[in-house]
């Protein structure tokens, strides 16, 4: 059905049927002027992000179901980076007449998969028409005990800088998708060749929010002194902690968790794998600092956590290269309005 035939409230009714509230804290969800949430004595944590067609995603290679999933993940990742647990989301979309109701349902199928996977409720939002393209705005709401909250400005000198998972895959996946799109535009008979790049492309189109890291640290009673999720690139996001905490740092190239796959594909694409890993962004891994005492409590292999450096008293931001040379780590990650 054409979305303009369905109408705003017809669409809302269809969405409401997909998302019954499951959390005890969700007292009232979709259907009224506002949702009602009850967190009792915990701190409430709220984060919001926008995804805009042509800026954050390209529908020529981004399936709508994956886009719905990612729209949720990028917000949940922000909640986890505060050492909090998300429980509800609000989702606003604006779409043009080029989208059918089936296309919107496909988008919300992806939203539903993410909500079910991370045990959160969709409790409301807004739908609107758009002159062109698609715009998505998602707000995530969560809670955390006051003693467990983690902020950017809490890093201490000699804290060990840690990162979950590996870095660089998402950027490489984006480069592959853009290359194949360019080849197709030049010659529509060239079909995309993506079978050898599934691991990279999945990181870009269907990233994971690292709730498993939060659960692991909690199991060992470890509270990070500072934390951020890697959305703009590790160089930028580490700089956010450094600036907020008024500290410098040393990061060691040889300690960075860069996969063999990223190194191999960077040669194929004629790009520098180190720059891609440091500046690529959209990893949604967690970057955090632990006191030396807390660092000793964790099993690095079991947890998939890598120590990559430490914070310092001075304000120098240093990358120690494999040959021992020390360079300033400058941020070339994603920046709007540049």
Q: Kindly state whether residues 127 and 160 are assigned to the same domain.
A: no
- Whether pLDDT at 309 is above 60: yes
Report yes or no on 206 lying in a domain. Answer: yes
Co-location of 144 and 181 in the same domain: no
SS3 state at 255: helix
pLDDT at 93 exceeding the cut of 80: yes
| Residue 333 is assigned to a structural domain of this protein | no
Task: For residues 215 and 96, state if they share a domain.
Answer: no
pLDDT at 31 over 70: no
Task: State which of 126, 148, 170 marks the end of a domain.
Answer: 148
Q: Are 156 and 140 in a shared domain?
A: no
Task: Kindly state whether residues 136 and 200 are assigned to the same domain.
Answer: no
Cα–Cα nearest to 277, from 261, 300, 295: 261
- Contact status, residue 96 vs residue 132, Cβ threshold 8 Å: yes
How many whole angstroms separate alpha carbon 125 and alpha carbon 122? 8
Residues 144 and 272 in one domain: no
pLDDT (tens digit per residue) in 254-270: 999 999 999 999 999 99
pLDDT band for 337, please (50, 70, 90 cuts). very low
Mark which of 148, 170, 195 sits at the end of a domain.
148
- Whether 135 and 169 share a structural domain: no
Q: Using 50, 70 and 90 to split pLDDT, how confident is the model at 8?
A: low
Q: Average of pLDDT values for 230-241?
A: 94
Q: Does 129 share its domain with 206?
A: no
Q: Region 306-322: what's the mean pLDDT?
A: 95
Question: Averaged over 187-204, what is the pLDDT?
Answer: 88
Within-domain flag for 338: no
Band (pLDDT 50/70/90 cuts) for residue 34 is low
CATH number of the domain within which 236 lies: 3.90.650.10
pLDDT category, 185, cuts 50, 70, 90?
A: confident
Q: Per-residue DSSP letters for 100-161?
A: BHHHHHHHHHHHHHHHHHHT-EEEE--EEE-SSSEEEEEEEEEEE-GGG--BGGG--TTPEE
Give the list of residues 6+ apart from residue 206 with CB closer than 8 angstroms, or none.
66, 69, 70
Assign 68 to helix, strand or coil: helix
pLDDT on residue 4: 66
Examine residue 336 and state whether it is found in any structural domain, yes or no: no
- Could you tell me if 26 and 88 are in contact, meaning their C-beta atoms sit under 8 angstroms apart? yes
pLDDT of residue 1: 62
134 and 163 co-located in one domain = no
CA-CA distance, 60 to 54, in Å (whole number)?
A: 10
Same domain, 174 and 77: no
C-alpha–C-alpha distance, residues 302 and 292, integer Å: 18
Residue 26 has pLDDT above 70, yes or no: yes
Closest CA to 15 of 84, 89, 151, 109: 109
Total domain count for the chain? 2
Among candidate residues 148, 183, 204, the one where a domain is terminated: 148
In a domain, 337, yes or no: no
Supply the pLDDT for residue 254: 97
> Are 293 and 265 in the same domain?
yes
| Residue-range definition of the domain harbouring residue 205 | 152-328
Task: Provide the whole-model pTM.
Answer: 0.88
Which position has the higher pLDDT, 127 or 286? 286
- Does one domain contain both 43 and 174? no
d(CA 259, CA 273): 10
Confidence band for 82, pLDDT divided at 50, 70 and 90:
very high
């Amino acid at each position: 059905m054409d979305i303009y035939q369905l109408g705003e409230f017809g669409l809302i009714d269809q969405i409401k049927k997909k998302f019954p509230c499951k959390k005890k804290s969700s007292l009232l969800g979709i259907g009224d002027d506002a949702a009602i949430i009850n967190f009792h004595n915990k701190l409430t944590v709220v984060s919001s992000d926008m995804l805009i067609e042509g800026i954050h995603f390209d529908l020529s290679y981004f399936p709508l179901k994956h886009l719905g999933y990612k729209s949720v993940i990028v917000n949940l990742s922000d909640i986890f980076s505060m050492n909090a647990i998300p429980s509800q989301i609000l989702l606003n979309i604006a779409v043009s007449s080029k989208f059918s109701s089936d296309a919107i349902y496909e988008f919300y199928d992806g939203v539903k998969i993410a909500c079910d996977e991370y045990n959160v409720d969709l409790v409301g939002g807004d739908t609107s028409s758009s002159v062109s393209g698609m715009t998505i705005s998602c707000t995530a709401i969560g809670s955390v005990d006051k003693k467990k909250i983690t902020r950017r400005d809490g890093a201490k000198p000699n804290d060990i800088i840690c990162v979950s998972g590996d870095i660089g895959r998402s950027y490489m996946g984006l480069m592959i998708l853009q290359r194949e799109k360019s080849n197709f535009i030049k010659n529509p008979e060239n079909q995309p060749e993506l079978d050898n790049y599934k691991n990279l492309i999945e990181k870009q189109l269907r990233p994971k929010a690292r709730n498993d890291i939060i659960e692991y640290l909690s199991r060992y009673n470890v509270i990070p002194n500072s934390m951020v999720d890697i959305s703009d690139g590790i160089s930028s996001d580490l700089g956010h902690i450094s600036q907020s905490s008024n500290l410098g740092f040393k990061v060691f190239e040889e300690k960075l968790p860069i996969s063999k796959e990223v190194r191999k594909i960077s040669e194929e694409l004629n790009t520098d794998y180190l720059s891609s890993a440091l500046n690529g962004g959209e990893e949604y891994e967690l970057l955090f600092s632990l006191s030396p005492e807390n660092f000793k409590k964790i099993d690095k292999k079991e947890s998939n956590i890598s120590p990559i450096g430490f914070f310092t008293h001075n304000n120098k931001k240093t990358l120690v290269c494999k040959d021992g040379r020390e360079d300033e780590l400058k941020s070339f990650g994603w920046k709007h309005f540049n």
